[in-house]
Amino acid sequence: MMTATPMGQALGLVQVDQSTVAIKESFGKFDEILEPGCHFLPWCIGKQIAGYLSLRVQQLDVRCETKTKDNVFVNVVASVQYRALADKASDAFYRLSNTREQIQSYVFDVIRASVPKMNLDDAFEQKNEIAKAVEDELEKAMSMYGYEIVQTLIVDIEPDEHLLG
C-alpha cells in the first residue's frame, strides 16, 4: 500500500508500509525491492512503483469434490496458509498472475489423486496424511514462485448428503 501526499508524490517520496514490500521499476524494468519505510523515487527519470506485495500470512480454503474407492462422493475441505517471501518478492510479483488459483489447482490435483485410492473410513483416518501430501506438493511447486506454505490442514471431509439421509 502506498501512502504518499500529493506533495510527497511530486517530490518522488513514497512510503512502504510494515509487512509489505514494493516492487521498484526503472523505465518498466525490475530494479529492486523496497523494504518498509520512506523512499525517494525520482519519477522524472523513469523510477516508479510497479506494485506492492504483502508479506503477511494469507489463508485459502479449498473445497474439492471427489469420489472414494468405495464409490462415495465426498467434499474435502482443505485450508492452506501461505505467504510471499521477502527475498523472493520479485518472483512472487512477476512470475505468478493468480496465486490463489494456482494453489487451488495443486490442492485439487493432490486430493483427486489420493482420496480415490481410499475407502471413506480410511479417508477420515488419514486426514493428516492427505494434508501432508498436499503441503509437500504445494511447497515444491510454490517455492519456485517465491511463496512459502506455512501450513495445510484438511478441515473436513463431508460425505454426499444422500449417504447421510
pTM: 0.85
pLDDT tens digits, residue range 130-153?
Answer: 999 999 999 999 999 999 999 999
pLDDT tens digits, residue range 47-67?
Answer: 999 999 999 999 999 999 999
Return the ∠ at Cα 11 (arms to 10 and 15), rounded to 5°: 95
Region 30-57: mean pLDDT is 94
Fold of the domain spanning 58-164: Tetrahydropterin Synthase; Chain A (3.30.479)
Distances (CA, A) of 104 to 1, 45, 99, 120: 26, 41, 9, 23
As given in the structure block, the three cell numbers for residue 47 are 523510477
Q: Residue 92 and residue 26: Cα distance in Å, rounded? A: 19
Q: What residue spans define the domains of the chain?
A: 6-54, 58-164
